[in-house]
Structures are given as structure tokens and as C-alpha cells.
Copies of this chain bind each other. A is one copy, B any other.
Amino acid sequence: MPKPRTLPKIIIGLLINKGELTGKQMLDVFNNDLSEFWKVSHSQLYPELKRMVAEKSVTINSSRQYSVTNLGKEQFDQWLNEPITFENRDLFALKIFFVRDGKSSTLVSLLRNELAVHGSHLEHLKTRYDVLFNSRSQIDENYGHYLVLTRAISRERDYLVWLDQVLLLAVNDRMLND
């Protein structure tokens, strides 16, 4: 089966958060707010919007502004709740981008899942490091490989710290407002 399309979901997410938007306004969000994690060119966006109008997940009004339909909202909710696996992991940044409420339960479960996925990934990387680079000569003889592996480990460590912080905040906020 073909892999699920994520661009439509992002478009709907934007419309849910920001209301009516033109294509250009969406492009601005993509290029300013989301560009670290997702890129969209206008030649990709406009045909996609046409398709989505045809599929009735969005509507377009006379001044070329798009709005999300109930069908679109359902599709988005379903997408948001699909579990993120290691292979899908790039979807995480997109999904949290659409979180409006810092103490939403969706955010907490997204964070917990992400922590689990990347925690075990870091373990895997550390194991590989111990196997491959436990002596100076192994490092010297595969220096490039050593570099990219240390980079990956450092990156994952930093990511986990960040995830932990955000999760802690979210959980505290939820407790305070119970």
C-alpha cells in the first residue's frame, strides 16, 4: 500500500489553528514557522489544495481562502492519534506543532511515546559505540564513522533532555489545574 500522505494533514492542522487561510499564507507559515521540520513549495501546495477541495476535506471561498470541513477535521484527529513508530519519527515535530494547549493529554502521550522511541534508539547507538570504538586505534582507523556516531549520540542525548523538560512541564501544569 502507498505510504500515507502527510501534506494534507499539515494543511488541515494549519486551518484548524488559524482559521481561513490563502495558499500564500500557508506557504508563509511553512517557510517561517515550520521550515526546520517540513518544506513545501508552492508548486506542491496548490495542486494539493485542489485535490483536497475535490475530496471535500477543505472548502475554498470567493476570495481564495480555504477552510477545513468536518470531514477534514476527522481526518486530522485520526492522523494525530495514529501511533508514531521509529520509522515515522519525523512526524513528531509536525504533530506537536499543532498542539495548542500546553497541558493537553495528546501532548503528554506524544512526549511519552517519543521518549520511549528515542530512549531505546540512544541505547542502540551507545551499544554500537561500545562495540566499535572501545580503543583508540579503532577510532583512528574509522574516524569519519566515529564522528557521525558521536554526533548521533550527542543529538539523541540533547533531544531526550529537551523531551524530558517539556514532559515535566506538561505534567506539572496538568496536576496544578486538576
Query: A residues within 8 Å of B by Cβ?
Result: 17, 33-34, 36-37, 93, 96-102, 139-140, 143-145, 147-152, 154-155, 157-159, 161-162, 166
Contacts and interface: CB of A to CB of B under 8 A. Distances in A.
Nearest to A93: B148
B96 A144 contact: yes
A97 B158 contact: no
Given A154-B158, A158-B155, A159-B155, A144 B97 contact: yes
Contact of A99 (B33, B147, B149, B151): B147
A33 B96 CA distance: 30
A151 B152 CA distance: 16
Contact of A34 (B140, B148, B157): B148
Contacts of A152: 36-37
A149 B97 CA distance: 9
Contacts of A159: 151, 155
B93 A140 contact: no
A100 B162 CA distance: 33
A172 B86 CA distance: 38
List of 10 A-B pairs having minimum Cβ-Cβ separation, nearest first? A158-B158, A97-B144, A99-B144, A36-B152, A102-B143, A154-B162, A97-B148, A96-B147, A98-B144, A33-B145
Contacts of A102: 139-140, 143
A90 to B, nearest CB: 12
A166 B144 contact: no
A96 to B, nearest CB: 5
A131 to B, nearest CB: 11
B162 A151 contact: yes
